[in-house]
Amino acid sequence: MDPPRPTRPTTTAARGKPPKLLDEVSARMRRLGRALRTEQAYVGWIRRFILANGKRHPRDMGEREVEAFLTRLATCDRVAPSTQNQALAALLFLYREVLGSDLPWMDDIQRAKRPRRLPVVLDRTEVAAVLAQIEGVSALMAGLLYGSGLRLMECLRLRVKDVDFVMGEIVVREGKGGKDRRTILPASLKSELRTHLQQVRQVHERDLAAGHGAVWLPNALARKFPNAARQWEWQYVFPAAARSHDPIDGRVRRHHIDESTLQRAVKAAVQRAHITKPATCHSLRHSFATHLLEDGYDIRTVQELLGHKDVATTQIYTHVLGRGASGVRSPLDRRR
């Protein structure tokens, strides 16, 4: 769960009135278990589509209006290809999942091509310089991004039970694409992480004593194991400093740290380290992959640790390494 989160509006159906279209979209997304952020993005795009067409009902529109809307996004608003594709995904969800339409034109709409860009990678000296500029819990989280190859939200959503000190592993639950995977727990962080968890446990015990201590769980787990939410192993490794009200059911819970906390810490550290590269939290993950390949680890192993579906995604790091065209010696040079 991502704190703080905006409160979901009360649906018209809950007030005894026929549900409005956007309420139906929200209800359908919750039924399918889609993330809150995805729901908010899709509802926003569908609302924007309707307003752009004079508040006409989508049932009265089709391919021409969808194509025109996407074209305006590209030519007038100059949004990125990924943004265009998100808008298209929202509209296809509306027609297929909410309005029950699955017409041939939906498959004919071409998605915008995303440019293939090289990742921003820090060398080992730069990584050390950045990490040296971060303190406290943010330093531990940044260490895991680089040392374990975690994505930002994968790090924030870690639960106590998913850290295996004996095996030296971290289990990532429902990473990108909804997949679980295992990655390495850096030995150099074990002692610091143990100390951190001891402090987190004390906070959890104080929450329990105050009548709280329940953490958010996916609906299926919450129903199947009603007592799990208060158990230590289900708590977040990086909990927020304060409890807050859950915007969905109003319950007071302690969520995980907000992602902006680490993002700001890394951005400030990059500036203090006088690094000119546009490095972010994700650059630490890119650096993890690149440095493993530099150390001679097999690309399939790196693919598995990163959780990439296709090895072609992992191969982009070989270009950063200079193992692409720039890493090949021309036969002409061998003559000299």
Q: Tokens standing for 29?
A: 């997304």
The residue annotated as part of the active site, out of 8, 48, 161, 176, is: 176
* Catalytic residue status for 282: yes
Residue % of the chain over a pLDDT of 90: 60
Q: Which residue has the tokens 């440019």?
A: 115
**The CATH homologous superfamily of the domain defined by 116-329:** Intergrase catalytic core (1.10.443.10)
**Cβ neighbours around 202 below 10 Å, total:** 10
Return all residues near 25 (Cβ < 8 A) that are at least 6 apart. Answer: 39, 42, 43, 46, 93, 94, 98
Per-residue burial over 91-102, b if 16 or more Cβ lie within 10 Å, else e, is bbbbbebbeeee
Provide the residue ranges of all domains of the chain, joining segments of one domain with +: 13-108, 116-329
* Catalytic residue status for 179: no
Return all residues near 311 (Cβ < 8 A) that are at least 6 apart. Answer: 299, 300, 303
* Catalytic residue status for 224: no
Length of the chain: 336
**Tens of pLDDT, residues 66-124:** 989 998 898 888 888 889 999 999 999 999 999 988 777 767 777 777 667 789 999 99
The residue annotated as part of the active site, out of 42, 95, 146, 317, is: 317
- Fold topology of 13-108: DNA polymerase; domain 1 (1.10.150)
**Tens of pLDDT, residues 189-200:** 999 999 999 999
* Catalytic residue status for 285: yes
Q: In angstroms, rounded to a whole number, what is the distance separating the alpha carbons of residues 18 and 321?
A: 58
**Tens of pLDDT, residues 308-331:** 988 888 888 877 776 555 555 666
* Catalytic residue status for 317: yes
